[in-house]
Copies of this chain bind each other. A is one copy, B any other.
Amino acid sequence: MIVLPGPASKKLGEKISDLLNVKKVEVDFKFFPDGESYICLKGDVLSEEVIIVQTTGPPQDTRIFQLVLMVDAVKRCGAKKVTVITPYLAYSRQDKCFLKGEALSIEAIAKIFKAVGINRLITVNIHEEQVLSKFPFPTKNVSAVPLLAYYFKKKNFKKSFLLAPDKGAMHIIEEAKKVLNMECGYLDKYRDRYTGEIRMEKKRVNVKGRVVIIFDDIISTGGTMIKAAALVKELGAKKVYAACVHPLLIGNAEELLYESGIEKIVGTDSIPSNVSKISLAPLLSKELYS
């Protein structure tokens, strides 16, 4: 087995290779002046099972294409099997068409991944697990929520309130609850699917005078988190923490989240960022040997 840390997940890939104690092959990566990507493997992969580690956060299309190029190079060099670890899988929020005429991006990606020769895909807390059914090869979705929960457990959070910013995130809260054993609840969120605009309704959640940890899978522009934080503050929460698996943190999201009064943001290195305090390396290494 050989690990190939891609340009989007260099450190994570290196950690996985260290933990597994298997050889890693470096990737020489650059952009040409016109913006095209160039990739060259700096080592041998002949007849090996190769694990490519490459997240596909923004810029998603470039990250996906770099991944495609790595798979091409690895196959060209005679790899026996190609497993891709892409902790954040782009275009995975939509698992069906809502309007006639829409493209189904994830199905196109599944076809692309198959065509270039990927044999197996491992991802982390995918937004819609059903999208994995589109992939015509083995896939696995692993959860980093227990890791996030243990982070708060170690920091001695007690009698806090676990909050899901919407009902859809309650499965995350249920997972966190197994570790943290705290009271929990969710807010009612409505999102305009086309414009992305969010409306959140006030609801009775018992947060007065308490510390609240809001868990979600993704923090993108931060809009949901900010609205949820404002709402629980209004309801009397003492302190608000934000936890997520995938800290996309588009634009100045991090700044806006702190400005909204959130005490601390805790994320994983699914997307390398300032808030990536937890590494997925142990979880993913274990998965490779399970």
Contacts and interface: CB of A to CB of B under 8 A. Distances in A.
A58 B62 CA distance: 11
Nearest to A59: B35
Given A61-B62, A61-B64, 11 more contacts: A34-B250, A35-B58, A38-B103, A40-B103, A70-B103, A71-B108, A72-B105, A76-B97, A76-B103, A112-B116, A114-B115
A32 B221 CA distance: 10
A100 interface: yes
Contacts of A62: 59, 61-62
Interface of A: 28, 32-43, 58-62, 64-65, 68-73, 76-77, 90-91, 97, 99-105, 107-108, 111-112, 114-116, 196, 220-221, 248, 250
A104 B70 CA distance: 10
Contacts of A32: 196
A97 B69 CA distance: 12
Contacts of A112: 68, 112, 115-116
A103 B34 contact: no
Given A112-B116, A115-B114, A39 B72 contact: no
Pick the most buried of A43, A60, A220, A248: most chain B CB atoms within 10 A of its CB. A60
A106 to B, nearest CB: 10
Nearest to A90: B36
B40 A99 contact: yes
Given A36-B60, A36-B91, A69 B108 contact: yes
A107 B196 contact: no
